[in-house]
Structure formats: C-alpha cells, structure tokens
C-alpha cells in the first residue's frame, strides 16, 4: 500500500477481505506442505514503494 486510504480497500469491511485472502493462502500452503500452518497477516503502508528499488528488492519484484 502506498497510502493509508488504500488500507481499507484491502482489509475490507470488518476485515472480511483480508480474512478471505488469508484463508485462501493458508489452504494453498497447507496443501503444499501437508501440514497445518498459521499465517499472521498485516497491511503495511510503504510510500512510493513502486518507485523505490530497495522496496522492490525486499518484495522480490525487481529483476
């Protein structure tokens, strides 16, 4: 997220969107590993991350 105003979009009303994202990811990871997993999810604001080479490297998005 680049702006605080975008957090609500990702989290969704009463956290429903973030919960759905976590449930889907957890299911895929558990299927891959064959074991139960616990995911801790949070939404972080990182201004101008799309233009920041350090941020892109940290997220594994820069080639």
Reported as a single tens digit per residue, the pLDDT across 24-61 is: 999 999 999 999 999 999 888 888 888 999 989 998 98
- pTM (2 d.p.): 0.63
pLDDT over threshold 70, residue 3: yes
pLDDT over threshold 60, residue 63: no
Measured CA to CA, the distance from residue 28 to residue 12 in angstroms comes to 21
36 SS3 class: coil
pLDDT over threshold 90, residue 23: yes
What domains sit in the chain, N to C, each tagged with a CATH number?
Answer: 4-58 (3.30.300.20)
The pLDDT score that the predictor gives to residue 27 is: 97
pLDDT over threshold 60, residue 13: yes
């Amino acid at each position: 997220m680049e702006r605080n105003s975008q957090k609500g979009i990702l989290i969704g009303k009463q956290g429903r969107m973030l919960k759905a994202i976590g449930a889907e990811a957890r299911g895929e990871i558990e299927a891959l590993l064959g074991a139960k997993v616990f995911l801790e999810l949070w939404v972080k604001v990182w201004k101008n991350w799309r233009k920041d080479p350090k941020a892109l490297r940290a997220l594994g998005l820069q080639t």
